[in-house]
Each structure stands twice: as C-alpha cells, then as structure tokens.
Amino acid sequence: MKPSRLRMRKDSRSASSLSRCSLTTCRLPFPGPEAPVAFCRRYRIRAGQRQEAGLHHGFLAAMKGPRTRHGDGKAETAMHSTGVFSWASDLTPPRAARRPQTVTHHGFTETDPYAWLRDPAYPQVTDPAIRAHLMAENRYFDAVLAPLGALKKTITEEMRARIVEEDAGVPFQMGAFLYQWRYEKGSEHRRWYRAPLARPDDWTLIIDGPALAEGAKAFRLGGFAVSPDGRFLALTMDRDGAERFALVIRDLETGEEIDAPIPDTIGAPVFLETAEPMVAYLKLNAEWRPDRVMLHPLGRDPHEDALLYQEHDPGFFVSLAKSASRRFLVISSGSHDTSEVRLLEAARPDAGMRLVAPRREGHEYQLDHDGRRLVIRSNRQHPNFTLFAAGEESGEDGWEPLLSGDEDRYILDFAVFRKGVAVVSRIAGEERLEILAADGRLSSVSLPARGASVDLAENWEVDAPMVRIAVDSLGRPARVFDVELATGNSILRKQAPIAGDFDPDRYVEERLLARGHDGAGIPVTLVRRVDAPQPGPVHLYGYGAYGIAMRPRFSSHRLSLLDRGVTYAIAHVRGGDERGREWYEQGRRFLRQNSFHDFIQAARHLIATARARAGGITISGGSAGGTLMGVAANWAPELWAGVIAHVPFVDVLNTMLDESLPLTPIEWPEWGDPRRSKDAYRYIRSYSPYENVLEQAYPPIMVTAGINDPRVTYWEPAKWVARLRERRQDDNPVILKTEMEAGHAGKSGRYAKLEEIAEEYVFILACHGLVDGAPA
C-alpha cells in the first residue's frame, strides 16, 4: 500500500497492494509470491511497490512413459498414469452432474453440460448443490495432498524461517512528514508510521494493518492519502476479497473516524488543495467498473457527494491521481489500448476540467506535472513510446519530444523532478535507469546487476535531488537505492533481508533465446543452484497477455524448490511486452495462439539444451496465464510432469459471449468479440481450454479458484475440472481448491499465504518424484 499521489503511467511494471489508481481491467497474473511480480492492467500499480511474497537430484522414470500428443489437429488416445500420486487411485473424485444446456452463435451449436455450476444469484453463491460440489472438491483436494502433509509442514516452516519477522521500509518524505511501513513480530500485515521532518525520530502509528484486518475473511489495503495540512487520513480497504473497497476517513489528531465509511470504492483516494478539506475518490458501478470520480467534503453526508466525472463507455475504466506538483487532479479514462486525460485544478475544483488530448483509438498516453510543464508518455510517434514536454494549455501540436522510443528502446516509466526526469526503459532487453536533465542531456545510470528489474520507488517530492529505485532479479533480493539526479551516483539504502544462511552465490541466473514456431526469438530466464542437475527437474512459469512483462523477481519462498534441485524458469511469450510493444501485439486477438506456441517452444528449447527432459517439466500460470496452462495441457501433455493453474481463465468463449459479466466489455479489444464477429468466435473456439479438452492422457493437474473473484469467476475452473475428469484417459489426479471466503488474490497476509504456496510446492515436488528429498 502506498499513498495516492501516483505517476500517470499506464504500463508500470511493479506490484503490491492495490494502491495505483489508474484502472482498466485484466485477468491478471495470480498474485501469489511464486508468480513473477507483474503489473495488473486493471489496477494501475505505482512503480516501486512490491508484492509480498511477495532435492534430491532424482528424476521420475515413469514420466518418460507413453503420452498422447495433439499436433496436427488430431488427438491420439492412450492410457497413462505417472504413478507419483498412486494413493489417489484409491480416492473417488467428485463427479459434477451433467445438465446439458445448448446455445447457438453464428450457426455453431455448443452444448455445455456444466453451465449449471454458475449460480443465477451471482455474485452471491447460495445454491446448495453448487456449494456442496465445491466443498466436495475441496475435500478431495485435501485428501490427495494428505500423504504429503509432512513435506508441506517442512516447507511451510522453511519459508517462515526465511522471513525476517521485524522488517521496515526505507523512510520517505511526503510533504512535511516522513512515512514508513513496518512488519512487527508475528504480524500478518504492515503498520504505517510517520514522523515530522523536524523530529525524524518521533514516529506515530497512523495505520494499524493487523487491527484493520481483524475478523476479516480476506483483507487488503487499497491505498491512502493524507490531507495537505497533515491532519486527515483517507484509506480504502477490502475485507472479503471481492475488490469492493470501503473508504474510511480518520482525524489523525483525535484518532476518531469521521463520516460514515463510503462503500464500493477502489484504488487510492486523493485530497484536494482546498481550504475546506475535501477528498476525491473512485466509485464502482454494479459491474465492478470504476466509472465515476466523486468529491466528498469532510464532515458532509456522503450521499450528497458531488460527481466530478463519469465515464459512460463500458469499455473504459476511470483512474484518479494527483500530479507530482500537487497542482492538478489527473482523471484518466482508459481501455487496453486507448486513453484520455483530464486535468482539474486541485485548489479550484469548481474551475472545470481541461481535456489534454481527446481519445483516439490506439493512442495511449499518461502524464505528470513538474510544476512548470507537463511530461507525457505517448505512443503517437512510436509504438515503444516517446516522452514529450508540453505547456499546461498546449494542444497535441504543442508537444515537444524529449526522448524517443525505437526498436531497441521501450520507455516503461518515468518520474518528474524540477531538476530533470528519471526514466526507466528496456533497452535491447535490459532494464535501464536514465536521467534526462533539465537541459536535455541524457545520462545512463550504472546498475549493480544485469538482467534485473528496475522500479521507480517512493518519489513524492518534486524538489528532491535524488530518485529512489528498487532493483532485484531471480537470484538476488531487492535492493533500494537513492540515485543523485545531478551525478548518477547511487547510495544503497536497503537490501531485502533473508533470514538464515542464504547466499546468492549458490545460485546462477541464465538468459536464453528459444526459437519460436515462426522463427521468433522467445526469451527465457531461469535460476538454479550452481550444483543443480543438468538435465534435471524444471518448473516453467508463463503468462503472456495484456502487455504485461513477466519481469525477473526474487522470492525467498522459491528457495525451497531451488534447494531441492528444481530449476525455475520463465517463458517470456508473446502477449507480454518483454521485447517491446510489438511483442504484445503479436500475442493478442487473432494472434493469441502465438503465446501458446511460444510457451511450448520454450519448453522444447529447455529439453534440446539438456536443461530438462521431456515429461520432466512442471508448469504454472494464473488468471490469463491459466488460459496458457489449459492450452499447453491440451496441445502438448507429453511435455509436462504436472500443471498448476491458479484462478485460470479457461472458459474464454463463454465469458467473452456474456456481456453481463463485469469485465467482458473491456476485454473484447484484447481477446476479440465473438458476439459480433464470426471470425472471432471461431478463433477463440479453436483454443479456449474448456471447449478443447480431449480424450487423451493428461498429467496431474492442480487448480485453484476464489468464490468472490470478480475477474475469473469460480465456475470457470470448476467446469474445466469436471470436463477434464470426464474426458481424460489416465489415472492422474485433477484437483480443485476453491477459497470459499476469498477472491482473485486468495488468502491475505504474509504468513497466511504460506500454506497455499507449500501446497503448490509439494505438488510440484511430487510430480518430479522428489517428495522424499531434503534441501541440498
């Protein structure tokens, strides 16, 4: 969680709690600590924020047995069982009743026997038969993993032992105060403190995360803001995982809450610069879309709040932030590929808004204000974006280029200061920090590691002489640096602590380039122990959607895999933007299948280069990455030792046909609109995992869902699991766990998530035949 004065970047490459206000939508990567931290295009997450995570060298011979394959459109069937879950053959999985429902679109008729698993009362799930089926699935899930309980306990204890129980962020200035988050011993959630600049040791608790979370089904802080005079605090929080946040306002002098909580908000609120304290906030409609910006004068009835802006296009989401200069409220409307921005004087909300540039299909731009000019990141000149400078009243014809993107330079993020602009770009595949001085000189900052992720961190003061960044990679924990704008010299402020005997020199990172089915070069990054077997067990992660790069991130939890000899790899498939904007364009809509081919080719490359063996790769992905998992399981089951699909978007066709679902209209530009386009219908139908489950052998499959998840509804994974069990030609387990009191993010809290991660890890190790192994 961070305060609400946020950079107006659309493609920030970082993640944390939902504090970025800029909002569109997506089936974002499953936000568990194992997934590489990635930006969610529904909730614009501010740069620098971080997700809290955040063997014996054996190889199972049985995994080499005959598999079926799906190559040229024909399915071969064979009986196959890995034997790794031999005890599961004595267990009876739940069988969902078949209640066929038939629909016809564009002359194509589909029969769905499991459509009844969607409760007509959704988002309430009250149907006794549906709840009974989901609970039966949960019991089966537990029964299959029960024999691995001792290993699960061991791994949970290992992960917890690496957590430094008392930890704190680097203090940062915002206005007249320093702010800092802290974890205290035994606490699941952060506490936030502040101290006056004049008394930097006089810390006061302002947000007690553990207290706010008490009694909640699931808990997440959305974001917070402090009034210009420092007296009032506004924060948003979600207590059931449904992503409908409540806005709470507190008087920091008295500690009392003022006004009634305001429901159905999201993102971070923003205080105006008016004499009478006022806070602006986003309001969600019935479809979970933030479509309004409201203005609340403190002490007034929230029912009388004024409407500042409303977005009527169902394909656009609204975002809200304050400029770095604190002069403007910045109100943005955006879809996946189009945006427009309005400015409102923060001291004069009645003065009216100014439209910076009207929306034009395909034109994306974000901006900030440094006190004298606007700095704008726009793709109007090049798909990899250009930074422009413009006067406050300038039209588009007055935008002057500052730094141009090109085929090798992809401009990702920026932070404005009076002394210049800090820019994060991906140059020839490497993330770099550059300083664009006020006189136009561009200098590159030397970073401590190649192949690392670079994030702008807490940069709230436009007059600051330094920019704060965070740097990490697959093999080394995050480090926080302050970089002098004038010289480029860096000062290390913190390295994320890992308890125990962690030594980064035990691990090696590699960057590979696989050859795609059409000749494209597919980047693959991996980390392993120096002494890991080659070839050996590999776990491969993938996502590939929304232009979200799977950036290399460190996870202390992942050490429980690496230290048992498992190599962890990421396939940077098309649909992400690891190789620039065009890489994203080549993996969306009618080119969506490139993502799936890329993932399979990345796995084949690991095999061809003797890093893995066929049938010896476990894979995972979540949300839109769950689509990738479903297709990979259908197309190339012989490659996988096991599949893990977190909150998987596997019922793509039916969801894209149903405009009553909250996120469907804004998703049509990404996936295609099968209602209106026969071609889109046929293309989505050709790969949608649910429709394409085959009568063939599948590897063991683990699936998760959240009953309160508004992005990937619970019935998608439930239907997919039912169809897999109906058609598979093997004895391998297919297990489903639905969190009955959580949403897309699953359980909250730094310890509560450990059990979920340990379940995934023991599943991975079992699929590799390593359940008796101990860390090296």
Q: Who has greater pLDDT, 187 or 576?
A: 576
The second-level CATH assignment, the architecture, of 79-164+622-651+689-776 is 3-Layer(aba) Sandwich (3.40)
Catalytic residue from among 80, 189, 557, 744: 744
Q: In whole angstroms, what is the distance from residue 736 CA to residue 705 CA? A: 8
Bridge-based pairing of strands 191-196 and 177-183 is antiparallel
| Lowest mean per-residue pLDDT among 3-7, 29-33, 175-179 | 3-7
What is the per-residue pLDDT across 656-701, written as a single tens digit (0 to 9) for each? 999 988 789 889 999 999 999 999 999 999 999 999 999 999 999 9
Taking alpha carbons only, the member of 721, 708, 718 closest to residue 662 is 708
Q: Which helix (H) or strand (E) holds 736?
A: strand 734-739
The question of whether 12 is a catalytic residue gets the answer: no
Q: In whole angstroms, what is the distance from residue 24 CA to residue 21 CA? A: 10
Instruction: Read off the DSSP letter of residue 638.
Output: G
CATH number for the domain formed by residue range(s) 503-613 = 3.40.50.1820
Task: State residue 38's pLDDT score.
Answer: 27
Label residue 213 by pLDDT band (50, 70, 90).
confident
Q: In whole angstroms, what is the distance from residue 707 CA to residue 730 CA? A: 29
Task: State residue 21's pLDDT score.
Answer: 35
Q: For the domain made up of 165-495, give the CATH fold.
A: Methylamine Dehydrogenase; Chain H (2.130.10)
Residue 680 in tokens: 């889109």
Annotated domain spans of the chain: 79-164+622-651+689-776, 165-495, 503-613
Q: Is 256 exposed, middle or buried (0-12, 13-18, 19+ CB in 10 A)?
A: exposed
Give this prediction's pTM.
0.88
What is the per-residue pLDDT across 137-172, written as a single tens digit (0 to 9) for each? 999 999 999 999 999 999 999 999 999 999 999 999
Q: Where are the alpha helices (DSSP H) in 203-352?
A: 209-213
- Which residue is associated with the tokens 């309430």? 124
- Which residue is associated with the tokens 């989901």? 134
Catalytic residue from among 227, 709, 730, 748: 709
The question of whether 709 is a catalytic residue gets the answer: yes
Taking alpha carbons only, the member of 417, 441, 444 closest to residue 431 is 444
Q: In whole angstroms, what is the distance from residue 288 CA to residue 276 CA? A: 31
Catalytic residue from among 4, 325, 473, 623: 623
What's the farthest any 2 CA atoms get from each other in the chain?
74
Label residue 76 by pLDDT band (50, 70, 90).
very low
Taking alpha carbons only, the member of 62, 177, 118, 100 closest to residue 615 is 62
Q: Are 263 and 281 in contact (CB under 8 A)?
A: no
* Strands laid side by side in the 353-357 sheet: 317-322, 328-334, 339-345, 353-357
Taking alpha carbons only, the member of 733, 544, 716 closest to residue 642 is 733
Task: State residue 592's pLDDT score.
Answer: 97
What is the per-residue pLDDT across 572-616, written as a single tens digit (0 to 9) for each? 999 999 999 999 999 999 999 999 999 999 999 999 999 999 999
What is the share, in percent, of the chain residues with pLDDT greater than 70?
A: 88
Taking alpha carbons only, the member of 112, 108, 69, 87 closest to residue 722 is 112
Q: In whole angstroms, what is the distance from residue 765 CA to residue 55 CA? A: 8
Mean pLDDT on 166-193: 94
Query: Beta-strand (E) ranges in 486-565?
Result: 490-495, 507-515, 521-529, 538-542
Q: Where are the alpha helices (DSSP H) in 453-592?
A: 559-562, 581-585
Q: How many CA atoms lie within 13 A of 671 on its CB side?
A: 30
Q: Are 620 and 642 in contact (CB under 8 A)?
A: no
Mean pLDDT on 465-486: 96
Mean pLDDT on 395-422: 96
Q: Is 173 exposed, middle or buried (0-12, 13-18, 19+ CB in 10 A)?
A: middle
Q: Which helix (H) or strand (E) holds 250?
A: strand 245-251
SS3 of residue 585 by DSSP: helix
Instruction: Read off the DSSP letter of residue 150.
Output: H
Query: What are the phi and psi torsion angles at 371 (to 5°)?
Result: 110, -20
Q: Do domains 79-164+622-651+689-776 and 503-613 have the same CATH topology?
A: yes
| Lowest mean per-residue pLDDT among 85-94, 215-224, 732-741 | 215-224
Q: Are 644 and 763 in contact (CB under 8 A)?
A: yes
Task: State residue 744's pLDDT score.
Answer: 52
Taking alpha carbons only, the member of 75, 73, 32 closest to residue 52 is 32
